[in-house]
Amino acid sequence: MTRPKPDLRLERALWESGYRYVAGIDEAGRGALAGPVAAGVVVLPPLLEAEALAGVRDSKQMTPARRTFWARKVQETALAWAVGYASAAEVDAWGIMPALYLAIWRALAWLRPRPEFLLLDYLRLPGCALPQMGVVRGDQQVLSIAAASVLAKTHRDAWMARLDARYPHYGLAQHKGYGTAHHRAALRQHGFSPVHRRTFTGRRK
């Protein structure tokens, strides 16, 4: 079965309605046992043709090499882009969804020009005065959301590779902090590092 290809239909409708700066938003690392949760935000140019980013998909549907290639293309093409983070400690302190919203706000704070409309994968951003829309399977259907998913994933993966150099016992560069058998075995052997989410493992010590 052919997977859907994200397009610009929703962005074009908003551009034609007068919103020039439409931001797609997606996350990476929500379910990981270690590392930050990341939020990517991408504002694409209103005159963009979708073929300029023809290889961009939901990041989970792409190989690492394809994600890296198309992340560079997204960064070169976008009017504005940013990636925000919330740490493992913040996830433990406030819960995953408040931490994710914090990561989104941090990414939005970096954007210039400021977005006028937000498109999110499923979510709505609480407390945000900007008009917004949560799109079911948005990372598979909406190009700006798919582009944001690629940036969130590639930038978080690079962060996890840097953490792996500091905490080499866990294999963070390989599994990116997710709960693989190898990762759980390393946790049993070595205990928590400072970048592990204690609330995600069922263990507090």
Torsion angle, alpha carbons of 178, 149, 84, 196, to 10: 0
Is the separation of the CB atoms in 26 and 143 below 8 Å?
Answer: no
Q: How large is the average pLDDT for residues 75-102?
A: 97
d(CA 184, CA 79): 41
Candidates 45, 68, 67; CA nearest to 139 is 67
Q: Which amino acid is at 71?
A: A
| Residue 137 pLDDT level (bands cut at 50, 70, 90) | very high
Q: Which amino acid is at 199?
A: T
| Residue 205 pLDDT level (bands cut at 50, 70, 90) | very low
Is the separation of the CB atoms in 86 and 197 below 8 Å?
Answer: no
How many domains is the chain built from?
A: 1
Is 2 contained in some domain? Answer: no
Q: In CATH, what number is assigned to the domain containing residue 74?
A: 3.30.420.10
Domain encompassing residue 36: 9-200
For the beta carbon of residue 95, count every other beta carbon within 10 angstroms. 12
Candidates 151, 90, 142, 92; CA nearest to 117 is 142
| Residue 3 pLDDT level (bands cut at 50, 70, 90) | low
Average pLDDT, the chain: 94
Candidates 158, 151, 138; CA nearest to 107 is 151
For the beta carbon of residue 52, count every other beta carbon within 10 angstroms. 15
Is 1 contained in some domain? Answer: no
